[in-house]
Amino acid sequence: MTTSSLLPNFLGGQWQTGTGEGTPLFDPVLGTELARVSSAGLDLAAGFRFAREQGGRALRALSYGERAGLLAAIVKVLQAHREAYGEIATANSGTTAKDSAVDIDGGIFTLGFYAKQGESLGGAHALLDGERIRMGKDPVFQTQHVLQPTHGVALFINAFNFPSWGLWEKAAPALLSGVPVIIKPATATAWLTQRMVKDVIDANILPVGALSVVCGSSAGLMDQLQPFDVVSFTGSADTAAIIRSHPAVACAGVRCNIEADSLNSALLDPAATADSEAFNLLVSEVVREMTVKSGQKCTAIRRVFVPRALYDAAAQAIGAKLTKISVGNPRNESVRMGSLVSQAQKASVLEGIAKLRTEAEVLFDGSGVALVDADAAVAACVAPTLLGAREPAKAKVLHEVEVFGPVATLMAYDSIEEAYELIRRGEGSLVCSVYSADPAFTAGAALALGSAHGRVHAISPDVAASQTGHGNVMPMSLHGGPGRAGGGEELGGLRALGFYHRRSAVQASSAALDALAASAVALKY
């Protein structure tokens, strides 16, 4: 293996190839090696310093509106290479064309959204947070809270399931804020992230140092962080704990955002019947969430709560739809669901299913059907699996273990209060979806469950055609969740800019505050 097969890193304003043989990236369906990545030998300290000093200074010299223009230009570059990204996603992530679009187009859409949001901020270089407040009886002396871009870098340690969206949903608000970005993509699917960054760098859109990518090991990255830097991580709770305990976060005050494990739920109104539209909407959404990207979404439905009287009907209806999901090589047009991203992930999912089965019955197992155009001994494919628990209150593992694949567990409840309590046993999730034709029930459920979730997604017959999907993260809505979900917040429109800004209270005369306001704009959500 030669260094020519290594994907280059962009750090310190230049392309650099890591040393050593590197870590191979594979096609999870065919098992063939695609490329290798290595961050060994990189001068991380110099790279972070360059981004912080060169990239940050150049970005902050621009207004929000000018930086928004840069995001719009990035959108055009990515759209021009859209076909190539789809081919990379199929080869490196094992996704169908439709599932690849969820990641690729989702990232591009989010960039475009923040480009438009940034236009509204115009030529300002700071944000006014709230109204002025008098400090005493005399109105001449007042206080104004101001948000200014932090003078640091944003380090993104991303997950394997969204190499495009995971990059741009973080980078868009960071760059709009004026903060340079260093991305560490998950190794297994790093190719798409690296290629997108390369296309943007080659287009000379951003100031040098504003955007960097380091592929391979994350060793030493956290050690480079300084007090005004920020770090955002998406991945396992175990790794999140390591990041939170790192001296940069624990001692130096580096701002940290975490998105970790999440046992997301779907809840059916107890008033629903087996022939109601709410019931059918739940069935369709559960199947979609189990199979899109082979269930490898942080927001996918993992637990499905239905009234006890509808447990068997729901199991049959979901199973009937799952029988139509063909699994195998995503290059075959008849395939509805591709593979997991790696053999390691396949082993993890199968192990997780075995754990869940200690407390659940198997309601649907698609593993008996042959894969389409794929060798079961080579491909990292796992068929959809629906489990069930008639007495979920007695379960423990079902409310603790997230299986990151095409797996969900149907659960029966006897009262809505019991359902709420069982959902909360997930100890904090990214999203819960509610299925009902009753606005009053939906409102009550949202209030009952909102404190345990970052998002409550209500699907009723009147929005069936326009709702964006339980698992789809839209940039205008908050993404994140309390408790085991990480306690972080991303997106939510211009709310996302807060993570990359520092708030200060300026106490001064009205004349001074007038002068300050001339170069700032009021932040309106």
The domain defined by 264-477 folds into Aldehyde Dehydrogenase; Chain A, domain 2 (3.40.309)
259 in catalytic set: yes
pLDDT of residue 368: 92
pLDDT of residue 128: 98
Contacts of 192 (CB under 8 A, 6+ apart): 85, 88, 89, 92, 93, 103, 104, 163, 164
CA–CA dist 148, 51 (Å, integer): 18
Q: Which one is catalytic: 298, 359, 381, 402?
A: 298
> Does the pLDDT of residue 1 top 50, yes or no?
no
Distance of alpha carbon 360 from its chain centroid, rounded?
Answer: 29
**How confident is the model over 31-41, as a mean pLDDT?**
97
Q: What is the tens place of the pLDDT at every residue in 155-186?
A: 999 999 999 999 999 999 999 999 999 999 99
pLDDT of residue 2: 41
CATH architecture of 3-260+489-522: 3-Layer(aba) Sandwich (3.40)
DSSP state of 251: T
> Does the pLDDT of residue 515 top 70, yes or no?
yes
CA angle 171, 104, 19 (to 5 degrees): 65
Alpha-helix runs per DSSP H in 366-431:
416-424
Q: Which one is catalytic: 169, 256, 259, 289?
A: 259
**How confident is the model over 93-116, as a mean pLDDT?**
98
Report the candidate in 169, 156, 215, 182 with the shortest Cα–Cα distance to residue 54: 182
Report the candidate in 366, 414, 406 with the shortest Cα–Cα distance to residue 390: 414
> Does the pLDDT of residue 3 top 50, yes or no?
no
361 in catalytic set: no
> Does the pLDDT of residue 4 top 70, yes or no?
no
Domain ranges of the chain: 3-260+489-522, 264-477
CA–CA dist 495, 524 (Å, integer): 9
Mean pLDDT value across the chain: 97
CB 318 within 8 A of CB 287: yes
Percent of the chain with pLDDT over 70: 99
DSSP state of 49: H
